[in-house]
Structure formats: C-alpha cells, structure tokens
Structure 1
Amino acid sequence: MRRLWQGAWGDDGAASFQPILQRSLTHIGAFDGPLLVGFVNVAWDGGIHAFILDTCVDPDYQRQGIALALLAQAAETARTRGTVWLHVDFEPRLEGLYRRAGFGHTAAGLMRLG
C-alpha cells in the first residue's frame, strides 16, 4: 500500500493504514500479480450513505480502465451492503472519470479544519 500511495499521491500517507481500513464499509484493490496497482476505499455513515475515498492507480497503470473498474466494484459492493447513496468529492481534473463512472453533479460544501 505504501508503494502505491507514494506513486499516486507523492507522500507516504498514514503511518498505518490499518485503522482507516478497519472502519471502511469496504476497500478494493487492483493487482498485477502480487503488485497492488490500484485502490479505492469506501467509508460510510453506518446507514444509507457511503463515501468514495482515496481512489488511486499507480501512474504506470493509469488510463487502462482500472479506476473505473474499482469504482464499479465499490458501487456494487456498497449497494449489496445496503447503502442507497454513494458520494464522492474530487478535483476538477477528475470530473470526466467520475462522470464516466456514473456520478452525477451535486452541490456540496467543504470546510478545511486544519
């Protein structure tokens, strides 16, 4: 996970990913043999809302449909586990990806706390 995170985000990420993943509704990886090349985390509110977080694909594997496949599996898993709404926030440069994945336009708010 650390290698993928470093390549995708440019930093080391959390000291340990275990506490984050333990609270997830699901997390899904894409592999090339033993190599983790893609990842998505699905957090949730314990009810009908789930949230896509940390979608990333190794730079050497981008533009091959991996992110779309991860998002499709995340949506299906969230649906089968009883969630009704799947939310995602993203940078403007990623709008095409999330629209192709089936996410519609919504108004939302964001407050930076730190």
Structure 2
Amino acid sequence: MSISVLADLFGSRASEAVLLHLHHHGETYGRAASKDFGVSLDSVQRQLDRFERTGVMVCRRQGRTLLYTWNPKSRISKRVQDLVAVAYEGLGIKAKESVFAERRQPRAKDKPVIRD
C-alpha cells in the first residue's frame, strides 16, 4: 500500500520510497529506503539507478555505500523536489512516524524525528 500519490505518478512503490526517503533525510541509500518502506532492495536500487541516469539524482561513494542526493545542476531535479515536497507535506504525522521512526543520526534528547 502506497502512502502518497508518488507511487501512482512514478509507477512504483520503490520510486515513492526513494523520493520520500531522500526528501526526509537529505540523502539516501538503497538499503535504508528499502527497509523503511518495506520494498525489495533490488527494486529500490533500480529506481536509484534510473533517477541517476535521468539526472535527477547524483551519487557518491562512502565506503561501500552509494549515497544519493538531489542533483543541484539539474533543472528538472528542482521540479521533482517541489513535487515530492508537496506530497510529503500532505502526509499525516502518523504516516511520517510509521515510515521514518528509525533515527539515522544521533539527535539531542527529546528532539522529534519528524520535521514539520
């Protein structure tokens, strides 16, 4: 079950997972998006590859992990970011908490994981 319209727009839950995960965290990698959204790692990696080939995202290697971020040089990337931001803002707080409950970086005590 998808949580936003992004799956319908881009054709798969994996694309929704990648886009929302990247929007929420600022950067993403395949295993994290796959785990948070309950989508197969293979399908998430295919979507990351596709977004990189189209120029929407760029990746860099950190150890053995490929980290993906928005492509700052792409004009279409900014439009996709805006679309994802609208979809993200439309999610309820419960949906955000259920998907993004796991902390990826150390945070101050009592600081919420979900950004408004």
TM-score by length of 2: 0.30
TM-score by length of 1: 0.30
Name whichever structure is richer in strand by fraction.
1
